[in-house]
Amino acid sequence: MTVDLPVRHYELDDYKSDEKPTWCPGCGDFGVLNAVYRAMRTRNFAPHEVVAVSGIGCSSRIPYFISTYGFHSVHGRATPVATGVHVARPDLKTLVFSGDGDAFAIGAGHVVHAMRRNLDLTYVIMDNAIYGLTKGQTSPTSGIGFHTATTPSGNPEQALNPLALAITCGATFVARGFSAEPAKLADLILEGLDHKGFSFIDVYSPCPTFNKVNTFKTYKDEVDWLPSDYDASNAANALAHATSEDKRYLGVFLRREAPTYAEQVHKAHTGTEADRAKVLGGMFKRYS
Partner 1 sequence: MVVADPKVTAPGSRHGEVPEHEIRTALVIRVAGEAGEGIKKPGELLIQAAARAGFEVLTDFAPPSEIKGGVSFFQIRLSSRRLHTRGDSPDVLLCFNQEAFEVNIQELVPGGLLIYDPEKVTPRDTSSYRLLAFPLEQIASKELRMPIVKNVVALGGMAALFQLDSAVLYDLIRELWERKGDAVVQTNFKALEAGIKYVQDHVSSADLERFHVLPHAPEKNRMVVSGNTATALGAVAGGCNFFAGYPITPATDVMEILAGALPKVGGTLVQAEDEIAALGMVIGASYGGKKAMTSTSGPGISLMVETLGLATMSETACVIVDAQRAGPSTGMPTRHEQGDLYLCVHGGHGEVPRIVLAATSVEDCFYLTVTAFNLAEKYQTPVIFMSDTVVCVRSESIPMPDLASLQIENRLTWTPPAEGATAFGENEGAYKRYAMTETGISPVAIPGTPGGQYVGMGLEHNERGRHRPDPRTHTQMTEKRFRKMEHAVTDAPEPVTHGDPDADIAIVTWGSTAGVAIEAIDLLAAEGISACLVAPKMISPLPRHQLVAAMGKKHVIIPEVNFRGQFADMVQASFPREVTRINVYGGRPMLVCHLVDAIRDVAQGRQGTGRVVLNPIIGDLDKLVTPDDLIAPLERH
DSSP assignment string, 166-187:
HHHHT-SEEEEEETT-HHHHHH
**Alpha-carbon span 209 to 189, nearest angstrom:** 26
**Alpha-carbon span 150 to 200, nearest angstrom:** 29
**Contacted by 153, from a copy of itself, ligand TPP, ligand SF4, none: CB < 5 to 8 Å by type:** a copy of itself
HSE-CB of 220 using CA atoms within 13 angstroms: 6
- Residue 129, Cβ density class (10 Å: 0-12 exposed, 13-18 middle, ≥19 buried): buried
Cβ distance to ligand SF4 smaller for residue 15 or 23: 23
Per-residue string for binding with Mg ion, 96-135, x by CB under 5 A?
Answer: ---xx---------------------------x-------
Residue 288 CB, shortest distance to ligand SF4, in Å, is: 32
- Interface with ligand TPP (CB under 6 A): 56-59, 75, 99-102, 126, 128, 130-134, 139, 207
Residue 250 CB, shortest distance to partner 1, in Å, is: 27
* 210 part of the interface to ligand SF4, by CB under 6 A: yes
Contact 198, 124 (CB under 8 A): no
Cβ distance to ligand SF4 smaller for residue 76 or 251: 76
**Contacted by 29, from Mg ion, partner 1, ligand SF4, none: CB < 5 to 8 Å by type:** ligand SF4
